[in-house]
Amino acid sequence: MNRCSRQEPHIAVDFRLDVALVHHPVVNRIGEIIGSAVTNLDLHDIARAGRTFGVRNYWVVTPYPLQQELAESIVRHWTDGYGGRVNSDRAEALSLIKISPSLEEVLAAMTQQDGCRPKIVATSASRQEKRTTYNELRQEIIEQKQAVLLLLGTAWGLASEVMDMADAVLPPIEGLGSFNHLSVRSAASIILDRLLGCRESADQL
Amino acid sequence: MNRCSRQEPHIAVDFRLDVALVHHPVVNRIGEIIGSAVTNLDLHDIARAGRTFGVRNYWVVTPYPLQQELAESIVRHWTDGYGGRVNSDRAEALSLIKISPSLEEVLAAMTQQDGCRPKIVATSASRQEKRTTYNELRQEIIEQKQAVLLLLGTAWGLASEVMDMADAVLPPIEGLGSFNHLSVRSAASIILDRLLGCRESADQL
């Protein structure tokens, strides 16, 4: 699982991990199904982490046309527009982003690209059934080149109908005691480090 | 190093890791020393990750009185104000935040609290001298109960005069190739997971 290579500045992504940030259907504080708003820094932070660790596509999933337009205009500013001209790293990161109206369309696009349906892996701040482990999924992605779609929820998390779509669920990120109130940006970054982070030597972890 | 305990909802923090987010002196894109602006989501995301993983204090370091006032008003809203009344998790997270005009004052406060000067550990997106490792620092914090001040830079990173203050520097977070363009929010989250994250079983990593 050694794939660290600071000597090679722009090696090709050789595995197939896509990330989807879901804005609908998610739940609110009291468990009702809602649609959440696209957040500028969710686009930036998860794209930057995605590009750092080698995510293939970062899907921003929202069914609302105005929210899709907003997300597209942010991405365009940082890829084709002024932002991208002054910050090429940011352009490279945000070029991972693809806007999609639904998870069904994401799955259809991935199935067409890979010739097979990806393994769908959900994340949750609470313990769920159908558990996988970080090490198991890391091996599937890096060694077996399994196509994987990792689902991240906004607001108070993925709706149960999305959890039902998942083939497996990663365990929650645990720290001290039961307090678990990470932002989706933090959770995404930690999960990508656990799945794809460099472990060249004991130095690294 | 097993310290995971979801059974205990609010166990006391038993180690002494403080985090400082430095807004001055940091460098800009061309290496000039600047002061950066306080960012709302830097306060929230790093406080939430800090509370999740057991950071003792989260120091927001800025010499500018108006920026100090801004940071204080954000923290107050989420601790004593309306935000805290509707979201107690957020109140608990943001109560970690202390505003300070300089690293010298942070060090003085920690030295008074602990009776000794903390070990100062810097972070950087590039390789530096005086390197420590994540595992080594994890052991010092968790097993040896060493008091540690972890320095995070905003903008394009910590100024060399801050790097010179450090007793040790953590290696950069590496992913695929040499692309390394994480937000400070993502970097902080990954570093805290590596230093303090639960590793109860192989399941966890």
**Residue % of chain B over a pLDDT of 90:** 81
pLDDT digits (tens, 9 = 90+) for A150-184: 999 999 999 999 999 999 999 999 886 778 889 99
Provide the CATH number for the domain formed by B17-198 in this structure.
3.40.1280.10
Quick one: pLDDT at residue B176?
67
Q: Is A133 an interface residue toward B (CB < 8 Å)?
A: yes
Give the residue from A17, A174, A201, A203 with the most B CB atoms within 10 Å of its CB, the best one to mutate.
A174
SS3 assignment, position B101: coil
Quick one: pLDDT at residue A77?
96
Cα(A151)–Cα(B150) distance, integer angstroms: 31
Are A183 and B180 inside 8 Å of each other by CB? no
Q: Is A58 an interface residue toward B (CB < 8 Å)?
A: no
Q: For residue B186, give the nearest of A4, A5, A49 by CB distance.
A: A49
Q: Which two tokens stand for residue B63?
A: 């010499």
**Which of A15-24, A65-74, A169-178, B107-116 has the weakest average pLDDT?**
A169-178
Cα(A54)–Cα(B37) distance, integer angstroms: 30
Q: Is A202 an interface residue toward B (CB < 8 Å)?
A: yes
Q: Which two tokens stand for residue B142?
A: 């968790």
Are A173 and B54 inside 8 Å of each other by CB? no
Fold that domain A22-174+186-196 belongs to in CATH: Alpha/beta knot (3.40.1280)
Q: Which two tokens stand for residue A163?
A: 């959890």
Q: Which two tokens stand for residue A165?
A: 């779509």
> Using alpha carbons only, how large is chain B's radius of gyration in Å?
17
Are A186 and B48 inside 8 Å of each other by CB? yes
Quick one: pLDDT at residue A179?
83
Q: For residue B203, give the nearest of A49, A171, A185 by CB distance.
A: A171
Q: Which two tokens stand for residue A55?
A: 């995510």
Residue B107 pLDDT class (50, 70, 90 cuts): very high
Residues forming a β-bridge with B21: B60, B152
Average pLDDT over residues A21-40: 97
Q: Is B10 an interface residue toward A (CB < 8 Å)?
A: yes
**Residue % of chain A over a pLDDT of 90:** 81
Q: Which two tokens stand for residue A143?
A: 């060694």
Cα(A108)–Cα(A110) distance, integer angstroms: 6
Q: Which residue has the tokens 């420590």?
A: B132
Are A203 and B8 inside 8 Å of each other by CB? no
> What single DSSP character describes residue B203?
G
Residue-averaged pLDDT of chain A = 90
Give the residue from A39, A46, A174, A176 with the most B CB atoms within 10 Å of its CB, the best one to mutate.
A176
Stretch 69-88 of chain B: residues touching chain A, C-beta under 8 Å: none
Are A185 and B180 inside 8 Å of each other by CB? no
pLDDT digits (tens, 9 = 90+) for B43-80: 999 999 999 999 999 999 999 999 999 999 999 999 99
Residue A201 pLDDT class (50, 70, 90 cuts): very low
Stretch 19-38 of chain A: residues touching chain B, C-beta under 8 Å: none
Are B197 and A176 inside 8 Å of each other by CB? no
pTM of structure: 0.93
Cα(B25)–Cα(A17) distance, integer angstroms: 38
**Residue % of chain B over a pLDDT of 70:** 90
| Domain boundaries of chain A, sorted by first residue | 22-174+186-196
Closest CA to A188 of A86, A42, A16: A42
pLDDT digits (tens, 9 = 90+) for B2-57: 445 444 444 556 789 999 999 999 999 999 999 999 999 999 999 999 999 999 99
The residue with greater pLDDT, B1 or B146, is: B146
CA angle B81–B84–B85, rounded 5-degree value: 85
Residue A13 pLDDT class (50, 70, 90 cuts): low
Are A193 and B190 inside 8 Å of each other by CB? yes
Q: Which residue has the tokens 């008074």?
A: B112
Residue-averaged pLDDT of chain B = 90
Cα(A96)–Cα(A86) distance, integer angstroms: 18
DSSP code string of A135-199? HHHHHHHHTS---EEEEEE-TT-B-HHHHHH-SEEPPPP--STT-----HHHHHHHHHHHHH---
Residue A127 pLDDT class (50, 70, 90 cuts): confident
Res. B114: pLDDT tops 70 = yes
The residue with greater pLDDT, A14 or A66, is: A66
Are A45 and B183 inside 8 Å of each other by CB? yes
Q: For residue A134, give the nearest of B52, B188, B204 by CB distance.
A: B204
Average pLDDT over residues A126-145: 92
Res. A1: pLDDT tops 60 = no
To the nearest whole Å, the CA of B117 is away from the closest chain A CA by 25
What length is written for chain B? 205
**Which of A7-21, A121-135, B87-101, B188-202 has the weakest average pLDDT?**
A7-21
Quick one: pLDDT at residue B165?
96
Write down the ipTM of this complex. 0.93
Cα(B189)–Cα(A197) distance, integer angstroms: 13
Average pLDDT over residues A189-197: 95
Are B183 and A44 inside 8 Å of each other by CB? yes
Contacts of A13 in chain B (CB under 8 A): 176
To the nearest whole Å, the CA of B36 is away from the closest chain A CA by 18
Q: Is A204 an interface residue toward B (CB < 8 Å)?
A: yes
Q: Under 8 Å CB-to-CB from A44, ≥6 apart: which residues?
A: A78, A90, A93, A94, B183
Cα(B158)–Cα(B126) distance, integer angstroms: 11
Q: For residue B176, give the nearest of A11, A171, A176 by CB distance.
A: A11
Contact B94, B78 (CB under 8 A): yes
Cα(B86)–Cα(A159) distance, integer angstroms: 22
Contacts of A91 in chain B (CB under 8 A): none
Q: Is B186 an interface residue toward A (CB < 8 Å)?
A: yes
